[in-house]
């Protein structure tokens, strides 16, 4: 299903005029994308289109020709891999985000006051669904190949706390959704996610928290897919993204300055 | 009827053959043969393979246990209720699996219509292996019911009626006369359902989540590994292909042979 969708996008892109400017962004930028898009469209008078995914999948996506003029990753490690693969120009730091716990409005969720309260959570699902662990806090985190998951692993290693998550979701939005739907009692996500969802209670992680630097870079085009025009404006778009007005939008969305 | 189709028809027919065959060929071509063993014996691979086989077989058994009565009921009914229930049964075929997963969350999730009652008695399906089986059964059941119901409707009712007149109970007639004669359709339906369950991704990841050893089946493992270790993702994909092809070949003579023998009637 995913590949079919990508194929359609590619097919459309090959025929669409070059005025569409594509930004491929980590899923943690979903909420800030709309105001950013408006800012860029007002500034350049071009049609800007954001698409989202896990930063971990960007190298493959760009390699396979996904339409992208600028790419925004959630952390430095994934951007470094893009740079090493020669897919992007040198990147710039965009924002700083950090981990935070969000809890659902459930009895177990309300009981969470600190990271340590997540331990003993969902005592190793025995899989028969008989719910003998129903009194535990059900925690979901990101999969380790996604930046939020890598950061979570790093943070947990630093604190020496061992979690037994009920699920490791493919990206931060999927992780957040499980708490929004009330399926999980708590999730480890980004501060920006907590800001975007004030209905969820946020619990600080504390001294050993890990922050990630979101980075942006101009995608090097070796095919004519996106046209020369965009290659020229991509650098300017990057300047606006790192400029003062974008910084204001990022701050509103819960991101800190890098 | 047996005349060969004209050449241009054959050319058109070869297009889908290539489109369907090329990805399989490419997958095998890109297999990292040298460290195949290592990739296959990794913990992610073995646990995903074991989990996938167990859950898909469990889902198939559920489909048979509940699908047979359903197909029987649908094949005899003609009223509006029958048509509504049949439409409901077929819905998962046309529904995107991820939508099925969302629907499962809203019904069997912790805060779902049914799920909240289950939660009260301490049963949680989401994030559990049972949830994986439920998601797989949800998408696989229509294939079984469809296959069996079609066979039941085409069945020659004479034998059954004679037996019935001679005083055999409906269950006795179904088990000893009807079931044997639709066995090939039951088997074909079960295989289709099993294959669908084995490949299930969208409903599973949405409803049951993804955790190695508990809910991360082979397709979920492939998706996860694609971002971390593409080579291993290719190996696991090939495993899915090999398992599927092996079972189809093993069962071909046994079941589809019967189907073929029955076809001309």
pLDDT tens for each residue of A96-146: 999 999 999 888 888 999 999 998 644 444 444 444 444 589 999 999 988
A144 inside 8 A of chain B by CB: yes
Q: Which residues of A touch B123 (CB under 8 A)?
A: 129-131
| Burial class of residue A241, CB neighbours in 10 A (0-12, 13-18, 19+) | buried
| A173 CB within 8 Å of a chain B CB | no
Q: Do B123 and A122 count as a contact with CB atoms less than 8 A apart?
A: no
Q: Are residues A145 and B227, on separate chains, in Cβ contact within 8 Å?
A: yes
ipTM for this prediction: 0.72
Identify from A152, A181, A184, A187 which residue to disrupt to test chain B contact, counting B C-beta atoms within 10 A and taking the largest count: A181
**Partner A contacted by B127 (CB < 8 A):** yes
Superfamily of domain A2-96+212-252: Periplasmic binding protein-like II (3.40.190.10)
| Best to test chain A binding among B209, B212, B220 (most A CBs inside 10 Å) | B209
Chain A residue with Cα closest to B220: A170
- Give pLDDT, residue A230: 58
Dihedral of the alpha carbons of B137, B138, B143, B149, in degrees to the nearest 10: 100
Kindly determine whether residue A170 and residue B110, on different chains, have CB atoms separated by under 8 Å. Answer: no
| pLDDT winner (highest mean) among A2-11, A106-115, A232-241, A242-251 | A242-251
Q: Does A86 touch chain B (CB under 8 A)?
A: no
Q: Is B240 exposed, middle or buried (0-12, 13-18, 19+ CB in 10 A)?
A: buried
Query: Which range among A33-37, A141-145, A151-155, B32-36 shows the weakest confidence by mean pLDDT?
Result: B32-36
pLDDT in tens, chain B (265 residues): 567 889 999 999 999 999 988 988 888 888 888 778 887 888 888 999 999 999 999 999 999 999 999 999 999 888 899 999 999 988 999 999 999 999 999 999 988 899 999 988 888 898 999 999 999 999 999 999 999 999 998 887 776 777 777 777 888 888 888 888 899 889 889 988 999 999 999 999 999 999 989 999 999 999 888 877 888 888 889 888 887 787 777 667 655 555 555 544 4
Chain B residues touching residue A184 (CB < 8 angstroms): 127
- Which B-chain residues 24-63 have CB contacts (< 8 A) with chain A? none
Can you list the alpha helix ranges (DSSP code H) found in chain A? 2-15, 30-44, 58-63, 76-84, 107-110, 147-159, 172-180, 191-196, 227-241, 244-252
Residue A79's pLDDT is 95
CB B184 within 8 A of CB B258: yes
* Closest chain B residue to A181, measured at CA: B111
Structural domains in chain B, CATH included, are 36-262 (1.10.3720.10)
CA dihedral A108, A114, A115, A116 (to 10 degrees): -80
pLDDT at A150 over 60: yes
What's the gap in Å between the CA of B116 and the closest CA on chain A?
11
User: How many Cβ atoms are within 10 Å of B207's Cβ, its own excluded?
Assistant: 30
Cα of first residue to Cα of last residue in chain B, in angstroms, is: 16
Residues in a beta bridge with A216? A72, A92
Among A23-27, A147-151, B58-62, B252-256, name the one with the lowest average pLDDT: B252-256
Specify the CATH number of the domain A98-203: 3.40.190.10
Report domain extents, chain A.
2-96+212-252, 98-203
Name which residue leads in pLDDT, A126 or A179.
Answer: A179
Q: Yes or no: say if A226 and A49 are a contact pair by the CB < 8 Å rule.
A: no
Q: Where are the alpha helices (DSSP H) in B30-42?
A: 36-41
Q: How many CB atoms lie within 10 A of CB B90?
A: 15
Residue B155: per-residue pLDDT = 82
Answer whether A148 touches B (CB < 8 Å).
no
Query: CB distance from A130 to chain B under 8 Å?
Result: yes
User: Are residues B243 and B50 in contact, defined by beta-carbon separation less than 8 angstroms?
Assistant: no
Q: Do B110 and A169 touch (CB under 8 A)?
A: no
**Domains A2-96+212-252 and A98-203 in one fold:** yes
């Amino acid at each position: 299903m995913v590949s079919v969708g990508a194929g359609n996008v590619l097919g459309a892109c090959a025929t669409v005029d070059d005025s569409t400017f594509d930004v491929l962004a980590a899923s943690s930028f979903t909420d800030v994308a709309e105001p950013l898009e408006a800012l860029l469209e007002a500034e350049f008078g071009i049609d800007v289109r954001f698409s989202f995914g896990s930063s971990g999948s960007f190298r493959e996506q760009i390699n396979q020709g996904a339409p992208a003029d600028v790419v925004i990753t959630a952390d430095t490690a994934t951007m470094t891999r893009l740079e090493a693969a020669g897919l992007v120009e040198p990147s710039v730091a965009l924002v700083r985000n950090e981990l935070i716990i969000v809890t659902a409005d459930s009895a177990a969720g309300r009981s969470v006051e600190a990271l340590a309260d997540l331990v003993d959570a969902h005592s190793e699902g025995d899989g028969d669904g008989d719910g003998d662990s129903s009194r535990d806090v059900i925690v979901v985190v990101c999969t380790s190949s996604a930046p939020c998951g890598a950061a979570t692993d790093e943070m947990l290693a630093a604190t020496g706390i061992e979690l037994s998550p009920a699920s490791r979701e493919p990206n931060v939005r999927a992780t957040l959704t499980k708490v929004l739907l009330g399926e999980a009692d708590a999730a480890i996500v980004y501060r920006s996610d907590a800001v975007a969802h004030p209905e969820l209670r946020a619990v600080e992680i504390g001294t050993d928290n890990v922050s990630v630097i979101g980075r942006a870079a101009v995608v090097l085009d070796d095919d004519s897919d996106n046209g020369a025009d965009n290659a020229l404006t991509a650098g300017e778009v990057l300047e606006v993204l790192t400029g003062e007005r974008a910084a204001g939008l990022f701050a509103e969305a819960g991101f800190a300055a890098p | 009827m047996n005349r060969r189709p004209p050449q241009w028809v054959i050319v058109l027919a070869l297009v889908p053959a290539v489109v369907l065959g090329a990805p399989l060929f490419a997958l095998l071509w890109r297999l990292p043969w040298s460290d195949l063993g290592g990739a296959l014996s990794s913990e992610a691979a073995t646990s995903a393979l074991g989990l996938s086989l167990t859950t898909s077989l469990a889902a198939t058994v559920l489909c048979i246990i509940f699908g047979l009565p359903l197909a029987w009921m649908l094949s005899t009914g003609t009223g509006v209720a029958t048509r509504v229930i049949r439409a409901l049964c077929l819905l998962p075929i046309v529904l995107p699996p991820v939508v099925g997963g969302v629907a499962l969350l809203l019904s069997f999730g912790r805060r779902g219509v049914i799920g909240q009652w289950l939660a009260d008695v301490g049963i949680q399906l989401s994030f559990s292996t049972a949830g994986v089986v439920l998601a797989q059964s949800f998408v696989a059941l229509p294939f079984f019911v469809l296959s069996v119901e079609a066979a039941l409707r085409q069945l020659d009712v004479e034998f059954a009626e004679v037996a019935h007149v001679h005083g055999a109970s409906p269950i006795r007639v179904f088990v000893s006369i009807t079931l044997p004669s639709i066995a090939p359709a039951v088997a074909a339906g079960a295989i289709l359902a099993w294959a669908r369950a084995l490949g299930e991704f969208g409903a599973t990841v949405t409803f049951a989540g993804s955790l190695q050893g508990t809910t991360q089946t082979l397709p979920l493992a492939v998706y996860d590994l694609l971002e971390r270790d593409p080579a291993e993702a290719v190996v696991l994909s090939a495993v899915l292909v090999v398992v599927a092809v092996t079972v189809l070949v093993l069962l071909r003579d046994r079941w589809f042979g019967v189907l073929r023998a029955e076809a001309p009637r």
